[in-house]
Homo-oligomer: A and B are copies of this chain.
Amino acid sequence: MNTVRASSRDRLLDAAAELFYSGGVHVGVQALCAAAGVSKRSMYQEFATKDELVAASLERSGPRYNALFLPEEADERTPRERILHVFERLEARSGSDRYRGCPFVSTAMELKDITHPASDVARRFKQQLTDFFEQQAGLAGAADPALLARQLTVVFDGAGARAVVSGKPLAGLALATATTLVDAATGGSSGETGRPRLSPG
C-alpha cells in the first residue's frame, strides 16, 4: 500500500500544512497539488473534500508544531524552567519573517466556523499545550494550576498575534509576561529560582 517514497497522502498533507500556514486555508487545491507533486485526481481519492484535507493536514502537523515549543520529556530542569522554555522558543520563532502565528489559532480564526472539522483539531492541539502547562504548574506548586495553565495559553496566543500584527520581534515580551504570571501563581518573586514548592530541596 505504501510506496517507497513518501506516499501521495503524506506529501499532500505536508504541502498542505506549509501552504495553508503561509497563505491561509484559502489556498487553492490546484496550487496545493502542484506543490505536493500529486494530481487532483489522486488528492480526491484520498480526501473527499478540501475541508477534510485541511483538517487532516492540521492533525498531521499539529504534533510537530507543539513539539517545537515543548521541552524534552525528561530533563533536569524545574517545572518553572520547563514552562518558560516554551516562551523562550516562542520568542525565537516569532522573530522569523515567516512566522504567521500559531497555526491552530490562525486556522480557527480564518475559518470562523466552530463546526468545521479543522476547528476541532485546532481546539484539541491547543488543549495539549494547556495540559502541559497545567501539569507543570501543578508540579511548580501553583495555587490554581488549571487557571495558570489557561493564562499561559492566553499569553502564548496573544504574543503570537502581536508578533503577526506588529511585524516586529517580541523582544522578551512573552517571556516576561509568562514569568510574571508563573511567579504570581507560585508565590515566587522575580529573583527566585522557581523551584517547585511540592518538592522542597
A contact residues vs B (CB 8 Å cutoff): 22-24, 26, 100-102, 104-106, 108-110, 112, 114, 119, 122-123, 126, 147, 150-151, 153-159, 161-162, 164-167, 173-174, 176-177, 180-181, 183-185
Contacts and interface: CB of A to CB of B under 8 A. Distances in A.
Given A105-B161, A108-B164, A184-B184, 19 more contacts: A22-B112, A23-B112, A24-B110, A26-B26, A101-B109, A119-B165, A147-B173, A147-B176, A150-B173, A153-B162, A154-B162, A154-B173, A155-B158, A156-B158, A157-B162, A177-B181, A180-B180, A181-B181, A183-B184
What does DSSP make chain A's interface, helix, strand, loop or mixed?
A: helix
A194 to B, nearest CB: 15
A181 B155 CA distance: 11
Nearest to A114: B167
Contacts of A177: 151, 154-155, 181
24 contacts: A24-B110, A24-B112, A105-B161, A105-B165, A108-B165, A110-B110, A112-B164, A114-B167, A119-B165, A126-B165, A147-B176, A150-B162, A151-B176, A153-B158, A153-B162, A154-B158, A154-B162, A155-B177, A157-B161, A158-B159, A161-B161, A180-B181, A181-B181, A184-B184
Contacts of A166: 123, 126
A159 B165 contact: no
Contacts of A23: 112
Q: Which of A150, A154, A159, A176 has the most CB of B within 10 A?
A: A154
A102 B109 CA distance: 10
A24 B173 CA distance: 29
